[in-house]
Amino acid sequence: MRRAGIRGKIILNSALILLIVASAVLYTGLASVELARSVEILFRNNMLMDDLRVSIEETEASLTAYLSMKSSDALKDYIKYSTRLAEYSRRLNREIRADELLLLQRDLAGILDGFLADAEASVAAKRGRDVSAYTERFESAERNLQLIGFLIDRIDGMFISDSLAAFSGFNSRVSSVLATNAALVVCATLMGMSVLVSVSYKLTEPLAKLAKAAEALGRGDYDHELPEAGDHPDEISVMAASFSSMRDGVRRAFEEQRAKSDLERKLMEDRVRLLDMDHKLKDAELLALQTQINPHFLFNTLTAGQQLAMSEGADRTGDFMENLAAFIRYALKPPSRSVRVSDELECVRLYIWLLRIRFGERYRFEVEADDAVMRVETPALVLQPLVENAVGHGLRGREEGGSVRVRARLDGGEAVLSVEDTGDGMSREEMDRALGEGRDDEPDGGGIGLRNVIRRVTLATEGRGRVELESTPGAGTVVTIRLPAEGSAR
C-alpha cells in the first residue's frame, strides 16, 4: 500500500460517514422544527394571555382598594399595574385582518382600552370626591372586565386548538421519522466501525512491534532487536531507521548527561549554600540595625509614666502604658518583615503620643497621608527614628519649641515618605557626615539614626529605594524616603 493510501481511505470513509450522519440529523431536525413551531406558538400566546389575566386582576384589586380606602399605597399599586396592563394591551393585534383569532385580539384590545379609560376616570372622580361619577365609571369598568374574561377564554381555546392540530400532524409522522433516523444512525455506526477496525489493525500491528522496542529502550536495553519493514517498507523502514539512530543518540546522551548531572549537582549545592549564607547575613544585619533602639528614650518615657502615675488618676496612666507597650511591640517584631505605610504611620502616632506626655505642648506634630499610599509596603520602623532625630537633635536647643510634619504620598511609581522639622538645620559638612558610611550618626545616640534608616531601606528594597536629605542652617531639615510603589519591600 502506498504511503498516502491509508490517509485517502480514512478521508473518503469519514466523509461518507459524516454525510450519512448529517442526513440523519437534518431529517430529524426538519421534523423537529415543525413540532417546535407549534409548541412555541402555544407557549408564547398562552404566556401573553396569562400575563393579561394576572395584570387585569392586579389592576382591578388595586383600583378597588383605592376607591374603597383612598390609600396612597393603593394608588401607587394601581398606577404600576395599569401601566403594565397597557403595555400588554399594545402587544395585541389592532389591525383588521381576515383571521378570526386576530380579529378577537383586536376586539380584546379595544375593550382593554375602554376598561383602562373607565378606571382612570373613576380614580379622577374619586380624587374629586364625585361619588356618583366614580361609581358609574367603576361599574362600567366591571362590565368591560366580564367581556375581557370571555374574550381571553375564547382566544385561549383557539390557540390550543390550532397548536393541537399542528402537533397531531407531526405526531402521525413520528414513527416513520424515528425508524428512518435509527436506520441512518445504525448504518453510519456499522460503516464507521468497519473502517476503524480495518485501518487501526493495518496501522497498529507494525507500530506495536516498534513500541516493544521502545519499551526495551526505556528499560535501558539498548541492544533490543528492531522490527523489520514487512508489508510497509516505506513507513516502517523510515521509522525503524530513525529509531535506531535515536537509540544510539540516547545511549551517548545518557552517558554525557550522567557526567554533567554530577557536576551540576555539586554546583547547585554550592549555590544553595551561598544563597543561604547571603539571606542569613541580610537578616542578621537587619536585626542588628533594628535592635539599636535608644535606651535613653525608653528610660525617659518610663520615668514620665511613673511621674504621671503619681500626679494623676489611673486612667491616663493606663493609656500611657498601653501606647508604650504597643510601640515597643511594633518595634521588636522580626526585622526582615515589610509592613504597610498605614502600620508605619500608626507607629509614628503612638510615638508622638508618648512624646506629648514627655514634653507637653512644647512641640507641634502633624501627620498627613494620602489614602492611595496607605497599602504600599515599606521597610518597618523607618519613620519613627526620623521623628526621634527631629525632636532630639533638630529642635532640642530651641526654647520656643517647634514643629514636626510627617507626610506620605504617591508620586508616579514611588511612595514618598518625609519627615520635616523647623529646627536648627544642618550644614553641608554635617549632612555629608550623616550620609557617610564611616560612622553611626551622632555620637550621643540618635535612636536608630539616619544612616541606619538608609541601610534598612537599601537592604529591604535591594537598592531600589533611596533616602534624600535637605537642610539649611537655621531653617530646618527634611528627610525624604522614596520607595517603589509596586510592593516595595520584601
Q: Does residue 208 sit within a domain? A: no
Phi (first) and psi of residue 55, to 5 degrees: -65, -40
> C-alpha grid cell for residue 159?
390557540
Cβ-contact 450, 466 below 8 angstroms: no
Q: How many CA atoms lie within 13 A of 91 on its CB side?
A: 11
Instruction: Give a yes or no: residue 427 inside a domain.
Output: yes
Domain holding 302: CATH number?
3.30.565.10
The torsion region of residue 401 among left (phi > 0), alpha (psi -120 to 50) and beta comes to left
**198 domain-assigned:** no
Give the other-Cβ count within 10 Å of 262's Cβ. 10
Same domain for 150 and 295, yes or no, is no
Strand 402-411, strand 363-369: pairing = parallel
Three-class DSSP category at 275: helix
Q: What angle, 0 to 180 degrees and rounded to 10, lies between the N-to-C axes of helices 100-127 and 72-90?
A: 160
Contact (Cβ atoms closer than 8 angstroms) between residue 65 and residue 123: no
**Residue 417 and residue 74: Cα distance in Å, rounded?**
62
Q: What is the pLDDT along the chain (490 residues), one digit of tens a residue?
A: 444 455 666 677 677 777 777 776 776 677 666 555 655 555 666 677 778 888 888 888 888 888 888 778 888 888 888 898 888 888 887 778 777 777 887 888 888 888 888 888 888 888 888 878 888 888 888 888 888 888 888 887 777 776 666 566 666 666 676 777 777 778 877 876 776 777 666 666 666 777 777 777 777 676 666 666 555 555 666 666 776 777 777 777 777 777 887 888 888 887 877 776 666 656 655 555 555 555 456 546 655 665 666 677 666 776 777 777 677 777 766 655 789 999 999 999 999 998 998 888 889 999 999 999 999 999 988 999 999 999 988 888 787 889 999 999 999 889 999 999 998 888 888 888 877 643 444 444 433 478 888 888 888 888 889 999 999 898 899 999 999 987 544 4
- Residue 82 CA to chain centroid, in angstroms? 43
Domain enclosing residue 419, as ranges: 291-484
Cβ neighbours of residue 213 closer than 8 Å, sequence gap 6 or more: 224, 225, 226, 227, 243
Strand residues in 361-464 grouped as ranges (E) = 363-369, 377-379, 402-411, 414-421
d(CA 136, CA 368): 73
Q: What is the CA radius of gyration of the chain?
A: 46
418 within some domain: yes
pLDDT at 78: 84
- The count of domains in the chain is 2
- Are 167 and 301 members of one domain? no
Q: Any bridge partners for residue 482, and if so which?
A: 416, 466
My answer on whether 170 and 296 are in the same domain is no
Give the pLDDT score at 488: 45
Domain co-membership, 301 together with 167: no
For residues 31 and 172, state if they share a domain: yes
Residue 271 located in a structural domain: no
DSSP assignment of 309-362 equals HHHS-HHHHHHHHHHHHHHHHHHTS-TT-EEEHHHHHHHHHHHHHHHHHHHTTS
- Strand 466-471 and strand 402-411: the pairing is unpaired
Cβ–Cβ under 8 Å, residues 394 and 457: no
- DSSP 8-state class, residue 223: T
> Rounded to an integer, what distance in angstroms lies between the CA atom of residue 406 and that of residue 392?
16
The last residue of one of the domains, among 177, 197, 227, is: 177
pLDDT for residue 410: 94
Query: CATH code at 147?
Result: 1.20.120.1730
Number of other residues whose CB lies within 10 A of the CB of residue 101: 16
Strand partners, 416: 409, 482
Last residue of one domain, picked from the residues 143, 177, 211: 177
User: Is the CB of residue 362 less than 8 Å from the CB of residue 404?
Assistant: no
Whether residue 77 is contained in a domain is answered as: yes
Which burial class, exposed, middle or buried, applies to 304 when counting CB atoms under 10 A from its CB (0-12, 13-18, 19+)? middle
128: its cell numbers: 374629586
Is 248 contained in some domain? no
The answer to whether 41 and 162 are in contact (CB under 8 A) is: yes
Q: Which one, of 398, 401, 337, lies nearest residue 365 by Cα?
A: 401
Which of residues 156, 177, 198 is at a domain's end? 177
Residue 237 in domain: no
SS3 467: strand
Contacts of 222 by beta carbon, 8 Å cutoff, 6+ apart: 247, 250, 251
